[in-house]
Structures are given as structure tokens and as C-alpha cells.
Structure 1
Amino acid sequence: MDTLIVFYQNLGLALSLLVIATFLLAGTIKGVIGLGLPTISMGLLGLAMAPAQAAALLIIPATLTNLWQLAFGGHLRTLIWRLWPLLLAIFIGTGLGTLWLGMVGGTWVVRALGGALLVYALSGLCLPTLRIAPRAERWLAPLCGVLTGVITSATGVFVIPAVPYLQALALSKDELVQALGLSFTVSTLALAAGLLWRGALGGGELSASLLALLPALVGMWLGQWLRQRISAVLFKRVFFIGLGVLGGHLLISG
């Protein structure tokens, strides 16, 4: 408790409110479309704090909401059997990226985060739905996994290229949501291991991350309620536009 209080005292009132509002918004978006919590969290918090600090805050909310997401759907065993090359490569790529790059801060990391967000937003808005032939999964899954892991280690964002890859597998709606949860869980755990190895994930950061879980869960519940009342297609379009603006700002301003 003392480390948690000290952590948020050091952040100050304005940044503490930003953390709460960010995870509430990110949880809401995840509740509606099944993804977006780490992406939104890193994008907004990256405006006001170092990427490594922002990444540490999302570890517990991202892990528990992803476990919640992958637990329901009834396809977990089948998905693990199909996706294990991707998941293993994500973990390896994150480890290699941690040793090679690491989330050490600086202008280039902020711009890399902005670039990752912008690419993801443009792919969601502009690219048609792709389809991957089963024979191509053998080499494409490890490649996408390693690239996702390296980007994760540098920016804390683990949607590129894993999400477009999963969307191209012609999974059912329930399978896709569960597959996203599985991929994000592995990415979050690999990111946590990398931050711990670099000394960026101590007791204060974990305590602060635990407190961020509450607004994330409230937001996720709110998002699931909203999902029944609005068009998911419209919401996703607005989400990608907002994400593109945020990514562009980070890319330009650094």
C-alpha cells in the first residue's frame, strides 16, 4: 500500500487522474470490440510519461482482462494447437527485442509508438479483409510473431502485425475474440518479463498497475453493455480514426 501511495504521489494529481481516465476509456473500447486496452493506454499515457512507465501500468489490467476474454468461447484448445507457432514466436521476439532494443525511452521510442499506432489505424481503415491460405500459416505465423514481439518490446503495443494476421484466418466471431485474448495474454506476459529483467517493473509499478485494474474492469463492463446498443462497425471506424490521430501526433511531436 505504501509503495502504491508513493507511486501516485510522485505522479501527481493530474497524471493520476489521466491514468484512471485512460484505463476507463481503454477498458470500454476493449469491451465493445475485443481489443484496444494496451493500445489506447500506451497511446494516451505516452503523451505524459515514459513508455516503460506506461507499459508497467498496463501489465495487470491487460493480463486479467485478456484472461477474461480468452476464457470464454469454447475454442481454447483448438486455438492453442493452431496458433502455438505464432504465440511462441511472439515470446521469442519480445525477448530478443528486449535484449536488442528495450523500452529505454527517448524520442525515437515515442515516435516508434506513434508509428505503430498510425500503421494499425490505417490498416484497420483502408485495407480490405485478407485471407491466408492454410499452407502459408506455417511460415507466416512465426514471422508475424517475431515482428509483433520486437514491436512490443520497443513500444508496448502488440497489435501489429498479430491482429491483422488473426483477422485474416477466417475465424468465427467467437474464435477471433478468443484468439485475440490468447495472443494478447502471451504478449503481455512476455512484456512483463522484459520489463522485470530491465528493472522497470518493481513493487511500486505493480501496485499502481493493480489500482489501474479497477477502472479497466468498469470500462470493460460498460463496453460490453454498449456493444449491445450501438453498431460495432461504426464504433470500430471511430476508434481507428481516433487512434490514427493519436499515432500521428506522437509520430510528429516525439
Structure 2
Amino acid sequence: MVEMLYVLAVFLLAGLVKGVIGLGLPTVAMGLLGVLMPPAQAAALLVLPSLVTNLWQLLAGPRFGALLRRLGGMMLGILAGTLLGAGLIAREDSRWPVAALGLTLLAYAAIGLARPGLRVPRRAEHWTAPLAGLATGAVTGATGVFVIPAVPFLGALGLGRDELVQALGLSFTVSTLALAAGLLWHGALPGVLLGQSLLAVPPALLGMALGGWLRGRVRPETFRRGFFLGLGALGAEMAWRALA
């Protein structure tokens, strides 16, 4: 009972972060749940809240068809990389998935704080997008976190704000579906965890609504900096605990 209350509180907080800055639900959820349980179990709980919130973000945008055509190679790369790498996160007897998760959170926090001004020329997208997708899928399959390198790469494409938000929704939706398929393939998605994942959807949506309300009342940059500092500390602690 205490564990389930913790899970619901985690998804409320993760939804709030996503509501304020437009991303972060899977990252926060995997980081905080990974303190209490193996990454494979945390990833299974993540499936439905992530899918629902990212579909919402994807379908609310203006140019789904155009983005899908432009980023189709990246999405195929995410699918392939995740399916190939999902065996790593399913290995609950290994400390490496926890270490990989911690290092991924730390890397994401460092990139988020540095905010490098990367740019990918349009003429290079046709070959860089599938590579970015494959790398994102590999990280997703190993850790359950699908922000590296997808978020920096999409941010470097020069998309408008609404297009970027929708592109992130597309990438996260495909990553969630691919992760669910990979977990199922390796027998790490039992029905009881899907039931608990369904219970986590309402607090995630409530957190998003609260985050939307909070977004107009706090400085997004201040919130963002605090988010990445906290995420970096959490990632460093997880990596140290797994490797020590």
C-alpha cells in the first residue's frame, strides 16, 4: 500500500513537471521509481501514463502529418534501437541498468543546464535523424528514459515552438510503444503492472493540469534550472549506488 502511494505521488510530481516545462514525465518517473524498484518494473509502470500524456501532446499540435513524414526515419530508428536494447533493462539481476539509468539522468541534466546551441542543417537530416533515433532507442531499451539524444536533436532542427512540442510528443509516443513492445517481448510486462500503470494515469493527468496552472505563476527558467539540478543529483546518487 505504501509503495503504491509512493508510485501515485511520483506520477503526480512527474505530470506537474511536464505541465510546467512540456517534458520530463518519463525522466522524473524513472528516476524516482528507480530508487524503490528495478528499472524494468519502473518502466512497466511508466507505459500507460507516458502513452496517454504524450498522445495528448502529439494530437494537440498543428502538423502531425508533416512531422511524421519529416521524422519518419528517426521514429523507425527509435523502434529498432529500443527493441534491440530492451533485453538490458529486463535483466533485473544486473546492476548495470540502474547504473545506466543514473548516468543517463546525469547526462540529461548536464545538457539541460548547459543548453548548447546545436543546429542540424536541413540537408543533413536524412542521415542524422535515423542515427539519432537508433541511439535514442538504445538508451530507451537500456534505461527506460527516452530523452537522450532525442530532445537535443529535435531542439537542433530549428522547429517552431508548437512544432517542437508536437515533435517531442511524437518521439515520446513512439518510444513508449516501442518500450512496451520490448518489455512484452522479454516477459517484463505482466498484467498486474499494467493494472498499476493504469492507476497512475489520473495522478499524471492531474499533475499536468496543476503544472499548466503553475506555469503562469513561476518563472519557467527558474523551475527548469531547479528541475535539472535535482535530476542531476538523483542520477549521480543512482550511478554511485550501483557502481560502488
Contact kept in structure 2, 1:90 and 1:187, CA below 8 Å: yes
Query: What is the correspondence of 1:29-40 to structure 2 with a 5 Å cutoff?
Result: 29-40=17-28
1:123 correspondence with 2:111: yes
Match for residue 141 of structure 1? 129
Deviation at 1:112, TM superposition (A): 0.4
The runs of 5 or more residues in structure 1 that have no matched partner are 1-12
Q: Residue 102 of structure 1: CA displacement? A: 4.2
C-alpha deviations, 1:201-224, integer Å up to 9, x for none?
Answer: 121111100001111010011111
Aligned partner of 2:226 among 216, 223, 238: 238
Q: Which amino acid aligns with 2:214?
A: L
TM, length-normalised to structure 2:
0.96
- Residue 236 of structure 2 is aligned to residue 222 of structure 1: no
Deviations 1:144-167 (A, max 9, x none): 111110111111000000000001
1:129, distance to aligned residue in structure 2 (A): 2.1
Distance in structure 2 (CA, Å) of the matches to 1:125 and 1:98? 29
Whether the 8 Å CA contact 1:103–1:155 is kept in 2: the answer is no
Q: 2:55 aligns with which of 25, 49, 67?
A: 67
Query: Is 1:25–2:3 an aligned residue pair?
Result: no
**Are 1:169 and 2:157 counterparts?**
yes
Residue 202 in structure 1 maps to residue 190 in structure 2: yes
TM-score, normalised with respect to structure 1: 0.92
Kindly report which structure 2 residues correspond to 1:103-114, keeping only aligned pairs within 5 A, or say none.
103-105=90-92, 106-114=94-102
Equivalents in 1 of 2:179, 2:216: separation in Å?
32
What amino acid is the match of 1:77? G
Q: 2:36, 2:182 → 1: CA distance?
A: 22
**1:171-199 Cα deviation digits (max 9, x unpaired):** 11111111100000000000000111111
Q: Aligned to 2:200, what secondary structure does the other structure show? A: helix
Structure 2 CA distance for aligned equivalents of residues 234 and 83 of structure 1: 31
1:31-88 Cα shifts (integer Å, max 9, x gaps): 1111111100110000010111100001000000000001112111111111111111
Which secondary structure state, in structure 2, belongs to the residue aligned with residue 209 of structure 1?
helix
Letter in 1 for 2:155: Q
**Offset at 1:252?**
0.5
Q: CA RMSD in A?
A: 1.0
Where has structure 1 moved over 4 Å in runs of 4 or more? none
Q: Which moved more, 1:90-99 or 1:35-44?
A: 90-99
The equivalent residue for 1:252 is 240
Where 1:152 maps in the other structure, the secondary structure is helix
Count of aligned residue pairs for this structure pair: 241
- Opposite residue 218 of structure 1, the aligned amino acid is L
Aligned residue for 1:183, secondary structure, equals helix
